Amino acid sequence: MEHKAYTSFDSGFLWGAATASFQVEGAVKEDGKGLSVIDVMPKNPAITDFSVAADHYHHIEEDVALMAEMGLKVYRFSIAWTRIFPKGNGEVNQAGVDFYNRLIDALIKHQIEPLVTIYHFDYPQSLVEQYGGWISRESIEDYRAYAEFLFKTYGDRVKYWLTINEQDHVVRIPSRLGLTGEDHYEQLRLGYQANHHMCVATALTIKTFHELGMEGKIGPAVSYSMVHPASSHPDDILASKDAMLIKHNYLMDLHCHGEYSYSFQRYLEERNFTPAIEDGDLELMKKYPPTMLGVNYYFSEAVRAFPATEEFPIGYQKKSLLPEAEAGVFEVVKNENLAATDWGWEIDPVGLRLTLRELYDRYKLPMIITENGIGAYDKLEDEDIVRDDYRISYLREHIKQVKLAINDGVPMLGYCAWSFMDLVSGRNGMEKRYGFVYINREDFDFKDMRRIKKDSFYWYQKVIASNGEDL
């Protein structure tokens, strides 16, 4: 809807940018760090691994100085669990603790609010070896204890906490659970068990957060985006609702309402995916919901109905990282109304406003955008220039929609672009860049790791200085 008058961003709006430990830090074996599932997963010979990344581990002073120059109000980063507890539990590694103390102190010195992700994909490999990791119930207490340690160690300076990043991706990407093997359906079954444990672990962690009397807010960072019906045909509309359920809402319903919704229960039962649930688990989730939500948003999708056939019976899935087609439910199709990135992600700024509205309608929590950005083949030109006007335009259009969502009445705490600096993409190495700051390295040539401000750096600096007026 349009409004008669529009308000500006609140003066305390948190303008920020984000990264994740394994994608920026490098130094994967330094100063006592233990191995994570990311460090041991099979390498793709065509792209770089995460062992050096943006070498942030050795550049934190310089990187934080750049954040300060840009005017960031908040910096979202994740703590590498295995720097703190190399084995995931047991002994603490003081060198790892000190590293994040230095980072947090540097941020505070520059009046940049730290927004800490407790766990962003880099699960301790030792926990997989000890008891199978997230698929075992033992994982719950180890996560909670790790989070409690962080609260006690950094909670005097950190007010905003994200529990688990994109749990739905962890559930569906076997290597991130430390799973091996080829049986897609068995991996999904285990994934839903892991999902349940992660939800209980999140609730227990939020309980600990309250018991310790922590100030500030806590909640998951969820990958959540609208799934549009490809047409106004009622079958397609049903397909879009079902896709929203099995991609996004199933998890939010657990986190925020402590329930497996009636339709998701049916979905799990029919596929033999129902996890073991102990008495009290759902009550715990109900009692300790998040107090804020982090929202990762890159694109929207369009779907149409995918009727089951003999060839594609109910439950058949096109095996892919994330659900793209499931017989009897939905199939992702191209949205002819939208342009896409070089990696085929459909660019939908209005979809962000719709997403925020949908989340607030359903879960009534204040939100912060924890990731939003465009991956592109940036080109470094002579005199250290990177003309990333496509990034400026992507971010501008999305920020406009955040403002409109605020005008619709959605409480927004802030906006973190992905990413502050170039980092190793989750699946595409260094060639898919997201940062405001260019890191001078390629997949297999580390060059000099020089930090170079892109055009978007100067643009975002003005956006922040004008509190979102000068877009």
Summarize as ranges the residues that interact with ligand BGP (CB under 6 A): 20, 23, 165-166, 169, 223, 296, 371, 375, 418, 425-428, 432
Minimum gap (Å) between residue 403 Cβ and ligand BGP: 23
Phi, psi of 229 (to 5 degrees): -70, 140
79 in Cβ contact with 100 (< 8 Å): yes
Minimum gap (Å) between residue 369 Cβ and ligand BGP: 12
Candidates 157, 61, 146; CA nearest to 108 is 157
Minimum gap (Å) between residue 278 Cβ and ligand BGP: 29
Minimum gap (Å) between residue 418 Cβ and ligand BGP: 6
Euclidean distance between CA atoms 221 and 163, whole angstroms: 7
Q: Indicate which residue of 25, 326, 358, 371 is catalytic.
A: 371
298 or 306, CB closer to ligand BGP?
Answer: 298
Two structure tokens written together for 137: 């119930």
47 or 471, CB closer to ligand BGP?
Answer: 47
Q: Is 166 a catalytic residue?
A: yes
43 in Cβ contact with 444 (< 8 Å): no
Helix (H, G, I), strand (E, B) or coil at 399: helix
Euclidean distance between CA atoms 268 and 185, whole angstroms: 12
Angle at 447 between CA 443 and CA 452, to 5 degrees: 95
95 or 340, CB closer to ligand BGP?
Answer: 340
Q: What is the dihedral of CA 360, 252, 183, 324, to 10 degrees?
A: -10
Q: Residue 419: is the preceding peptide bond cis (ω within 30°)? A: yes
82 or 425, CB closer to ligand BGP?
Answer: 425
Q: Indicate which residue of 25, 113, 166, 346 is catalytic.
A: 166
Minimum gap (Å) between residue 172 Cβ and ligand BGP: 11
267 in Cβ contact with 296 (< 8 Å): no
Minimum gap (Å) between residue 315 Cβ and ligand BGP: 25
119 or 143, CB closer to ligand BGP?
Answer: 119
93 or 223, CB closer to ligand BGP?
Answer: 223
CA 416 to centroid of chain Cα atoms: 11
Scan for tokens 């397609």, then name that residue: 236
Q: Is 397 a catalytic residue?
A: no
- Burial of residue 136 (CB within 10 Å: 0-12, 13-18, 19+) is middle
Catalytic residues: 166, 371
